[in-house]
Structure 1
Amino acid sequence: MKNLLLLFLLVISANCFSQNYKITYLKSSNGNLIENQDAVWVFANNNQTLLSTENIRNQKADFPFEETIVDRSSNSFFQKATLKSSEIIATKDSVSLGKQTFEYTNDTKKVLGYNCKKAKTIVNSNTIEFWYTDELKVKGSPTVLGQNLGLVLEMVRNGNFVISATKIEQIKSFPIFQLPQKQVDALTYKDLLWKSRFTTISVFKDQILNFSDESKSNDSILRFANGTIAVRKVQLPEIKVGSQIFVDVTEQSNGDAYDRTGSLFMIPTDKEISFLNGLQNGAKTLPIYTNGNGKEYQGVIITDNYNPVVELMRFFTPFGVKQYNTLQLKDKTWAENVLYRQDVSDLRSLLSGKEVWLGINIGNYDKGGHKVSANITIHTENESIIKPTQIIPLFCTNNIMEMAGQEYGTMFNNDKGLEVSFKLEKPMKNCKLRYITSGHGGWENGDEFVPKKNSIYLNDKETFSFTPWRQDCGSYRLSNPASGNFPNGLSSSDYSRSNWCPGTVTNPIFIDLGDLEAGTHLMQIKIPQGLPEGGSFSSWNVSGVLIGEQ
């Protein structure tokens, strides 16, 4: 109440004894005025300065938005934010203005007919120049920075981004600025404002993925494969074309010390059979793929009545992060967890406005297993040149049901490899294959440690080939406390691998396929899979979805 009374008295005093100005600013980049921008409005008099925008003051601003008022008598400012939820919060800063430092130059020029002097400062390696005038006897700036210089009429950042005053008007009264009851510290204010700028959907929270007969489902989360898989149904909002969609997973060891394959995935349910049927009734109930090598692979390719899972993110756990942080090495401070975060905007049409089954798994045989949390965040873009797409899941050999008997991806041990037939009802333009691949076989001659070329064929023609290989695994040593150390001075987590490292995401690559006509098409994935040795064998987890414009 004391702050509210102070501001009320300031407004009365300002309106009675000083001149009030409204300054309009517009932004330019590289000499070009930014289109469709919300003009910055600054109101200034002897006692205070209000930073706002045209849309805010005309009640047309999108949520969240914020305003700032500077109290000249105390050299402090209040920031007020109206969040997406319509909640209003505020914070006070009594320190920052006094800490600003500037280099003053002898340069002068006129802006809107007023004589201006130049000052500059450096913030986060950005050089910012200010052109300010003392002729109006008021102070203000289009940002919190530079508030005490004078009236800043132009700001230039790094020589290419400019905020310039385009109009100065004398007004009768200073706008009303009312503080809300809820005032928070500066860090909380920034956090709440930042989180209000996007939509967060919590998918899993502190979920244990372990191997135990005691793992049980509940009303919201289904558990399968002795607890190594968790699945739940999630309602997603409509997502504008061009918006950014991210998934994030946070992982800690809850007992398991080894590096494991993990996947955050979506289960398509638009056909007669889905992967959910296999989870509930056993892997053998899924469509079987064979290629003549004598093995049966459950649920790995598209059929007339089945779509395979779509991997949103494939990730790999490190060696024992958190649980084994007590294993000390000199000059090593272990991470508390691993955060995996990935852009999945290309999968928008599978997610937007739909109720979908989302799952997460980490293959392991440990009763403690791993603790994971997963979120989807949606960051809306108002304008986009991106065209809507159609998505067709084609294949996924990642044996997510490993602990429930699903066969490993060992079908690459003959010339046929993985063969997928799919039918397009209509032509698709600008088609791409979203392809994720990682090689496994964790002994000296296994494909985990031996580079192998992946070749993609479309309609009997080789379309693309590359050798997936990660050489940066040593960058993640601090997430791998339980990684074994060898006589040569390397740790197991340092070694290069077939497109993955302990503690990282394996990113998809996008393979251009051009325009595809309506009808049936044949895709093959060929990899020279290594031979088994004793009880050890190699396998490849590959997944792919077709993305194209209708």
Structure 2
Amino acid sequence: MKFKSLLLLVILISSCQPQPPKSIGDSNISVFDNTNLYFDMAFKSDSIKRDDSILRLDAGRVLVKKVKIPVYEKQPNATVNVTLTSNGDPWDKSGSLFVIPNLTNLNLVDFETGQFDLKQLNEKYPATIPFQKDSLKYIPNVELLRFMTPFGVGHFTNDERVKNRKPPYIPHWEEQVKWSQDITHLIPLLEGEVYIGVMIDTWTKEGYTISVDLNFTESAIPNHIKTSQSVIPLVNTSKYASEQRLYDDFSKQPIEVNFTTASIYKNAKLYFITTGHGGHAEGDEFVKKEHRIDFDGKTIKSWIPWRDDCASFRRFNPTSGTWLAKDFMEEELSDDRIASSDLSRSNWCPGSDVKPEIMDLGDLQQGEHVLKIAIPEAQEAKDNENNYWMVSAYIVYDN
């Protein structure tokens, strides 16, 4: 009798112990494989073209594909890898790789495929911040990677016309450009079936060839249970939709986002991505602009996003225009040639990716919160001067 009681006690104790997390192993998810992204006015009347499970939106400049991603129990590290070459477009262009969160019943695909009537909403779509009308809720796309294409990498690398543009300090023009970023903090949005998309602001029928994969590397530590986190998408001003315009409203007013926390959100961090555009001489691309981030009425960061290392990307930019330095820059007497891709810019270089700014918010108390993003001296778009800012922000916290 004692033996049976002891055995029952052992079984009860064992059943109460937490089960070790199930191991799935490493995964590599191919999203786009040498896929041509290009602009085609023929898509204007019907902006959707289904091609090998890929949706082509906004006249072909946006590709969206549904992929299936494992749900991990052990802690994985997640990395996004992008390879890009020009397919004939010689210019530098803004690009954004994004996920459409499964946190809402209204998203980019619903609008662009005509599955939802815009007249039903008294809202401007696509919205840059979340909104809700009756039972319909919309939240912005979340960026996995912001990038800028180089001038003509790959397609023009061996072109006779660019031979004399190669400076002596680089051995050769590169065949492609590759970017890789750790996106482990975005795993809560990368589980099960999700839409992954990529936008490049090309205006040519040749466009670019792009490959994208998501790599998940499972922890080798025994019983390493995955950190439980959540993501709050807050802002995205990038142009993903046919009816969307380039965002120049920072010239008029800051963006404010109100949201509510249902409980205390531990170890919250704000991820913020920004790049300025406006290719004319005094445009927001080439002029320093202060950014100010306020959270719950307090300024948590004020700085000027700026890149002054663009000359280090010269090998990726065979079709970049060049000028004599003394003819282009005041008080410069050098006969050396300077390339457009060498010039400093608002937080990006032709051929670079863009890293998020990360701001520690601590523990968010239950209740209402306000995020305010200001670029006080941003310029408006007018005539042929397309000043605009691509800004996105989201919060990650521990459950």
Q: Normalising TM by the smaller chain, what interval?
A: 0.7 to 0.9
State the shift of 1:238 in Å: 2.0
Match of 2:259 in 1: 422
Name the structure 2 match of 1:483.
320
Question: Which of 73, 76, 87 does residue 254 from structure 1 map onto?
Answer: 87
Structure number with greater CO (CA < 8 Å, separation at least 6) is: 2
**Partner of residue 381, structure 1:** 219
Counterpart-to-counterpart distance in 2, 1:297 and 1:360? 19
After alignment, is 229-238 or 523-532 more displaced? 523-532
Q: Please give the alpha-carbon distance, in whole angstroms, between the structure 2 residues aligned to 1:307 and 1:534.
A: 31
Further displaced range: 275-284 or 486-495: 275-284
Aligned to 2:130: 302
Correspondences of 1:441-460 after superposition (within 5 Å)? 441-460=278-297
**Contact 1:283/1:405 (8 A) holds in 2:** no
In the aligned structure 1, how far is the partner of 2:116 from the partner of 2:360? Answer: 33
40, 54, 57: which one aligns with 1:212: 40
Write the deviation string for residues 335-385 of structure 1: whole angstroms up to 9, x where unpaired. 111111111011111113x11011111111101111101001111113459
Q: Is 1:495 equivalent to 2:343 in the alignment?
A: yes
Question: How has the CA–CA distance of structure 1 residues 315 and 241 changed in structure 2, closer, same or farther, with 3 Å as cutoff?
Answer: farther
Change over 3 Å in CA distance of 1:276–1:455 after alignment to 2 = same
- Counterpart AA for 1:468: P
Are 1:228 and 2:67 matched, yes or no?
A: no
What amino acid sits opposite 2:39 in the alignment? Answer: F
SS of residue paired to 2:105: coil
- Cα deviation for residue 297 of structure 1 reads 6.4
Asked if 1:237 corresponds to 2:70, the answer is yes
Of all paired residues, the percent bearing the same amino acid is 36
| 2: CA distance, partners of 1:449 / 1:241 | 45
Question: Which residue of 1 is the match for residue 375 of structure 2?
Answer: 527
SS at match of 1:541: strand
Q: Give matches, 1:112-261, under 5 Å.
A: 198-213=26-41, 216-240=49-73, 242-261=75-94
Partners of 2:300 and 2:182 in 1: CA distance: 25
Following TM superposition, by how much is the alpha carbon of 1:272 offset from its aligned partner in structure 2, in angstroms?
Answer: 2.5
Corresponding residue SS for 1:298: coil
TM-score where L is the length of structure 2 = 0.81
The residue number in structure 1 matching 2:156 is 324
Are the equivalent residues in 2 in contact too, given 1:297–1:407 (CA < 8 A)?
Answer: no
SS in 2 for 1:412: helix
Cα RMSD over matched residues?
2.5
What letter matches 1:218 in structure 2? D
Aligned to 1:311: 143
Distance 1:435 1:256 in 2: 29
Once the two structures are TM-superposed, the CA of residue 269 in structure 1 deviates from its matched residue by 3.5
Letter paired with 2:98: F
> What is the aligned counterpart of 1:469 among 298, 303, 306?
306
Q: Report the counterpart of residue 196 of structure 2 in structure 1.
A: 358
Report SS of the residue matched to 2:341. Answer: helix
How has the CA–CA distance of structure 1 residues 280 and 527 changed in structure 2, closer, same or farther, with 3 Å as cutoff?
same
Rounded Cα–Cα distance in structure 2 between residues aligned with 1:484 and 1:540: 24
Map 1:31-70 to 2 at 5 A: none
| TM-score (ref. length: structure 1) | 0.60
Is the CA contact 1:456–1:524 (under 8 Å) kept in the aligned structure 2?
yes
- Distance apart, 1:535 and its partner CA: 2.3
CA distance in 1, matches of 2:297, 2:116: 30
Q: Structure 1 residues 283, 433: closer, same or farther in 2, change over 3 A?
A: farther
Q: 1:217 to 1:498 in 2, by over 3 A?
A: same
- The alpha-carbon deviation at position 241 of structure 1 amounts to 5.5
Residue of structure 2 equivalent to 1:170: none
**Deviation (angstroms), 1:298:** 2.5
Contact 1:258 1:318 in 2 (8 A): yes
| Equivalent residue in structure 1 for 2:187, among 345, 348, 365 | 348
Large movers: runs of 4+ above 4 Å: 286-289, 531-534
Q: CA deviation at 1:213?
A: 4.2
Contact 1:303 1:422 in 2 (8 A): no
Unpaired stretches in structure 1, ≥5 consecutive residues: 1-62, 64-83, 85-196, 290-295
Q: Mark the CA change 1:240 to 1:370 in structure 2 (over 3 Å): closer, same or farther.
A: same
CA contact (8 A) 2:72 2:226 kept: no
Does the 8 Å CA contact 1:262/1:360 hold for their aligned counterparts? yes
Match among 336, 353, 362 for residue 514 of structure 1: 362
In the TM superposition, residue 386 of structure 1 has moved relative to its aligned partner by 7.6
Matched letter for residue 336 of structure 1: E
Report the counterpart of residue 177 of structure 2 in structure 1.
Answer: 338
Q: Check conservation: 1:255, 1:370, Cα contact below 8 A.
A: yes
Equivalent pairs counted in the alignment come to: 347
The 3 A distance-change label for structure 1 pair 235 and 297 is closer
- Residue pairs, 1:271-290, within 5 angstroms: 271-281=104-114, 285=118
2:83 counterpart SS class: strand
Alpha-carbon deviation of 1:273?
1.2
Report the CA distance shift for 1:288/1:526 in structure 2 as closer, same or farther (over 3 A): farther
The answer to whether the Cα contact below 8 Å between 1:224 and 1:279 also exists between their aligned partners in 2 is yes
Q: Is the 8 A contact 1:454 1:526 kept in 2?
A: yes
Secondary structure (helix, strand or coil) at the match of 1:347 reads: helix
CA contact (8 A) 2:229 2:396 kept: yes
Counterpart AA for 1:399: K
The letter for the 1-side match of 2:231 is: I
The aligned counterpart of 1:395 is 235
Q: 1:265 to 1:302 in 2, by over 3 A?
A: same
Q: Which has the larger radius of gyration?
A: 1
Closer, same or farther: CA 237–228 of 1 in aligned 2, 3 Å: same
Match of 2:274 among 437, 454, 458: 437
Q: Is the 8 A contact 2:99 2:197 kept in 1?
A: yes
Q: Secondary structure at the match of 1:451?
A: coil
- Give yes or no for contact 1:284–1:298 (8 Å, CA) kept in 2: no
| CA drift at 1:307 | 1.1
8 A Cα contact 2:96 2:200, kept in partner: yes
Match of 1:545 in 2: 394
